[in-house]
Amino acid sequence: MTFYSATLLSRYKRFLSDVRLADNQVITAHCPNTGSMRNCVLEESRCYLSHSPNPKRKYAYTLEVVTTPDGDLAGINTARANGLVARAIDEGVITQLQGYATRLAEQKYGTENSRIDWLLRDHTSDSRPCYVEVKNLTLLEEGYGQFPDAVSERGSKHLRELMALALQGTRAVLVFCVSHSGVNRVKPADHIDARYGHLLRKAAANGVEILAYQAEFIFEAGVLQDIRLVRPLPVDLSPCLVKPKEIVEIGEAEIERPLVE
């Protein structure tokens, strides 16, 4: 993929960003991120775009990578995460997901009208299918990469679906695609979405595998050439010190089967 260097001027209406190209032309680019992009947006900072030749597109450029206020790089295009994970599986980087002969995208599953990002089948020694949900992580706060960066009902739904699979004996995996160069460890953002943090810990306790792999932004002669997942990161699921009242009240209602406490 070809990336074009530009200057980020602003992000607004969630899906739009104004940028200044290398020739000083100011354009509007598509911003493919539904989250808050907390701690990622810095006006007048270096960013990187992709370009589509499709004449039917309203915005030819897409915002892909931004420079954070701390000078790190963050890949904010959430649509790239699934491909990064698939490539990392193919290249043997995600060691926990090796040995499957078949990989299917966007397969329907569960009881809440969900689609799994990747369904892996035909393992060399494990007859179980493996359901892989991918989340793009770009928030760095208090020394941790944290997810989500805004309240995510959809994220909580996916955790319930994965938990139900694990309780049935099916392999269920959540992969945090850490698209941030400054992150060295990961944890749930309890201060942003306490319900998600509660469910993530319950999911792990009930057999859902929680993985995190960090992306590297590869430059040649000062030009961004590639993005790929290169290393695993530790995930901290230690108990949240403060349990909000609403989490205590929902308790076991998140899933109808008994859960490990």
pTM summary value: 0.92
* Judgement on whether residues 187 and 127 belong to the same structural domain of the protein: yes
Domain that holds residue 13: 4-75
* Judgement on whether residues 10 and 130 belong to the same structural domain of the protein: no
Identify the band that residue 243 occupies on the pLDDT scale cut at 50, 70 and 90. Answer: low
Q: Which pLDDT score, from 0 to 100, does residue 187 have?
A: 98
Residue 95 lies in a domain: yes
Q: What value does the mean pLDDT take over residues 3-22?
A: 96
* Judgement on whether residues 154 and 182 belong to the same structural domain of the protein: yes
Token pair listed for 30: 């598509």
* Judgement on whether residues 153 and 239 belong to the same structural domain of the protein: yes
Provide the edge-to-edge strand list for the sheet that holds 223-232.
100-109, 114-123, 130-137, 171-178, 209-220, 223-232
Distance between CA 257 and CA 124 in Å, rounded? 31
Residue 227: is its pLDDT beyond 70?
yes
Residue 166 lies in a domain: yes
Burial class of residue 193 (count of CB atoms within 10 Å of its CB; 0-12, 13-18, 19+): buried
Identify the band that residue 111 occupies on the pLDDT scale cut at 50, 70 and 90. Answer: very high
Distance between CA 259 and CA 196 in Å, rounded? 16
Q: What value does the mean pLDDT take over residues 104-131?
A: 97
* Judgement on whether residues 142 and 197 belong to the same structural domain of the protein: yes
Q: Which pLDDT score, from 0 to 100, does residue 245 have?
A: 58
* Judgement on whether residues 194 and 84 belong to the same structural domain of the protein: yes
Token pair listed for 13: 């209406």
Residue 242: is its pLDDT beyond 90?
no
Q: What is the pLDDT of residues 70-109, one digit of tens each?
A: 999 999 999 999 999 999 999 999 999 999 999 999 999 9
Identify the band that residue 210 occupies on the pLDDT scale cut at 50, 70 and 90. Answer: very high
Instruction: List the CATH number of the domain containing 93.
Output: 3.40.1350.60
Q: Which pLDDT score, from 0 to 100, does residue 259 have?
A: 42
